[in-house]
Structure 1
Amino acid sequence: MTSSSTPGLTRFNTAEDDAARAALRAVCASGAWVEAVLARRPYPGPAALYEAGDAALAALAPADLAEATAGHPPIGRPTPGDPASAREQRGMADAPAALRAEMLELNLAYQERFGHVFLVCATGLTAVQLRDAVRHRIDNTPEHEREIVRRELGKINRIRLAGLVTAPGGAPDRPPTDGSPP
């Protein structure tokens, strides 16, 4: 598939730098990741964009990874007004109150232990699977957990990049981050 057969990618490739930067920020909150992916435009096809995203993620320093992680809401509390966040966390939407409360407690314990939100590619996971994932990972060493977070962030970024490539406007369905109305 070439850029010409993916209108979203064509729009991204030809967008002004500020617009392309904003679209990438909606994918990943790391400035270093955004600039690395932006620098390699234009992309001949989605695969090249995904590979650039993966390479940029692999190169992130710990502070850049922390910046990327900080752009994600806790599981069970998607960002209000953000359809992508709600879609990604759909598995928690109808969870029973007791499970939601347990997830909140686990999120807080995880954040206290590791200093950042519990990050998992929640797309397609049920509330029970999400709860089990945090239970399973909370006893990891910080080093091991950092590598898991990097892998999970890679999955999330690929899903969001796919949304950017297929979006009619060349940008994923995320609200603006500059305070302007959607």
Structure 2
Amino acid sequence: MKGSGPRGPRPPFPAGSRPGPGWRGGRLDEASAAAWLAANRRYEERFGRIFLIRAAGRTGADMLARLHERLGNDPATEARVRAGQLAEIALLRLEAQVAAPSSAATFQD
């Protein structure tokens, strides 16, 4: 997602999620922030894009572990994984829109 910038230090956590060790109130402790920044830099250098992952339902530790795993992907594999993550994010957003009551749509008999 162009212009989003790296999300290492403050990834978006869904309401009610538990980010895990190193994460306090949506912010990272110093060691975790350094680990995210370093891994994000390696990812950007390797693939030329920011790391993208569906955060909903994942802990901070899980996302960091997946970032490290994905650094081992070849570019074609990573492109497929990234496309899958984008699809998951889009589906979650679509589901949220469908589930939300819309004041613009009213039906009358």
User: Normalization by structure 2: what TM-score?
Assistant: 0.73
Q: Which runs of 5+ in 2 are unaligned?
A: 104-109
Residue correspondences, number: 96
Give the alignment's Cα RMSD to 1 decimal.
2.5
Q: Which residue of 1 aligns with 2:75?
A: 142
The structure with the largest helix share of the pair is: 1
Counterpart mapping for 1:1-182 below 5 A: 69-70=1-2, 72-77=4-9, 85=12, 87=14, 91=19, 93-169=26-102
Q: Extract structure 1 runs of 4+ deviating beyond 2 A.
A: 69-79, 85-88, 94-97, 167-170
User: Normalization by structure 1: what TM-score?
Assistant: 0.46
Question: Percent identity at matched positions?
Answer: 29
Contact 1:72 1:119 in 2 (8 A): no
Contact 2:52 2:85 in 1 (8 A): yes
Q: Which has the higher contact order (CA 8 A, sep 6+)?
A: 1
Q: CA deviation at 1:86?
A: 5.0
SS in structure 2 at match of 1:139: coil
Q: Which runs of 5+ in 1 are unaligned?
A: 1-68, 80-84, 171-182
